[in-house]
C-alpha cells in the first residue's frame, strides 16, 4: 500500500479538499472517495481548533475512515477535544474555543452526532501508526527510535507534545528539543505539530506541519515516493508561529 500523509489541518477544510484533489483522489459512482492507484490517506492529528471549519473536517475524516480509504492517529488538540466531548473539565483555549463555538451553534441532535463520531475515531485510533512492515512511522509530534513499539506514559507525552522540557519561551510557547536532528534510525518518521515554512527533513524524519492555519500551506508526504505536495492557505500569515531550526 502507498500512502499520502497529511499534516495538521486545524479546521482548514477548503485547503484539505484542494490538497486531496491535487493528490488525485476523487469520488466514484457510489460517491466514495478513493484513489485509482490504490493509495490511502493518513491523518497525523490536529484536525480541529483555530481554523474556520473544524467540525466539517471531523465529518469528512470520519467518512473516509468508515470507507477505509484513510487512517488516523490523534494529536494533542484531538486529545483535548476528546476530553471536552467526554464532559471533562478542560480549559477552552489555545484554539479549542473555535471548535466549541461551532459545536454550541449546532442543534442538540447534531451535537450528539459529531461528538459520537469524534469519540469513536479517537477511541479506535492508535497512539501512532506503524505501517509498511514497520518501516513507516506516523506520530503527531514525532517519536524517539527506542520508543517505537512502546506505548507507556512517556511515549504518549512525546507523541502528543513532542520532546518538551517543561519550560516555556518568553512568548509562552513550550520549549521543545530538536529530537529529529538526533534521530539516526532507518525507519521513516512522518510528524507534524511544530509549524515550519517548508517541510523539514532531518535524517529519515520529515515534519509536514507547514502551518496551514497560520497562513502557510497544507502539505502531504507521499510514501514511498518521498515527494511532498502543498497547497496554499487562505488564512492570514502569522509569521511568529513558524519555527526555524539550525540544521
The footprint of Mn ion (CB under 5 A) covers: 46, 75-76, 193
Residue 57, C-alpha cell as written in the block: 473536517
CB 22 within 8 Å of CB 226: no
Smallest distance, Mn ion to C-beta of residue 32, A? 29
The answer to whether 95 touches 113, Cβ cutoff 8 Å, is: no
On whether the CB atoms of residues 191 and 129 are closer than 8 A, the answer is no
DSSP bridge pairs for 138: 129, 190
Shortest Cβ 196–Mn ion spacing (Å): 13
The DSSP output letter for 145 is: G
Contact 7, 228 (CB under 8 A): no
Closer CB to Mn ion, 46 or 53, in the complex:
46
Q: How far is the CB of 45 from Mn ion (least distance, A)?
A: 6
Nearer to Mn ion, 25 or 43 (CB): 43
* Largest separation between any pair of C-alpha atoms in the chain: 54
- Nearer to Mn ion among residue 56 and residue 193 (C-beta): 193
As measured in angstroms, the least distance from the Cβ of 235 to Mn ion is 16
Tell me the closest approach of the beta carbon of residue 30 to Mn ion, in angstroms. 34
> Strands 188-191 and 136-138: what pairing?
parallel
Residue 35, helix vs strand vs coil? strand
Closer by beta carbon to Mn ion, 76 or else 204? 76
By beta-carbon proximity to Mn ion, the closer residue of 106 and 164 is 164
Amino acid at each position: 500500500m502507498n500512502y499520502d500523509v497529511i499534516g495538521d489541518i486545524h479546521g482548514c477544510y477548503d485547503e484539505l479538499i484542494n490538497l486531496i484533489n491535487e493528490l488525485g483522489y476523487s469520488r466514484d459512482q457510489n460517491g466514495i472517495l478513493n484513489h485509482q492507484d490504490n493509495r490511502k490517506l493518513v491523518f497525523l492529528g490536529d484536525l480541529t481548533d483555530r481554523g474556520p471549519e473544524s467540525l466539517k473536517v471531523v465529518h469528512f475524516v470520519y467518512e473516509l475512515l468508515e470507507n477505509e480509504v484513510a487512517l488516523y492517529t490523534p494529536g494533542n488538540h484531538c486529545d483535548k477535544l476528546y476530553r471536552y466531548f467526554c464532559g471533562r473539565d478542560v480549559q477552552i483555549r489555545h484554539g479549542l474555543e473555535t471548535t466549541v463555538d461551532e459545536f454550541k451553534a449546532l442543534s442538540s441532535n447534531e451535537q450528539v452526532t459529531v461528538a459520537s463520531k469524534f469519540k469513536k475515531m479517537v477511541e479506535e485510533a492508535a497512539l501512532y501508526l506503524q505501517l509498511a512492515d514497520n518501516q513507516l512511522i506516523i506520530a503527531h509530534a514525532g517519536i524517539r527510535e527506542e520508543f517505537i513499539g512502546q506505548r507507556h506514559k512517556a511515549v504518549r507525552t512525546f507523541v502528543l507534545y513532542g520532546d518538551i522540557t517543561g519550560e516555556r519561551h518568553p512568548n509562552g510557547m513550550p520549549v521543545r528539543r530538536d529530537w529529529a536532528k538526533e534521530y539516526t534510525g532507518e525507519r521513516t518518521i512522518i510528524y507534524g505539530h511544530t509549524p515550519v515554512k517548508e517541510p523539514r527533513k532531518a535524517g529519515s524524519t520529515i515534519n509536514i506541519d507547514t502551518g496551514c492555519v497560520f497562513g502557510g500551506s497544507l502539505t502531504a508526504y507521499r510514501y514511498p515516493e518521498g515527494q511532498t505536495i502543498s497547497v496554499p492557505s487562505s488564512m492570514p500569515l502569522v509569521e511568529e508561529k513558524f519555527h526555524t531550526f539550525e540544521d
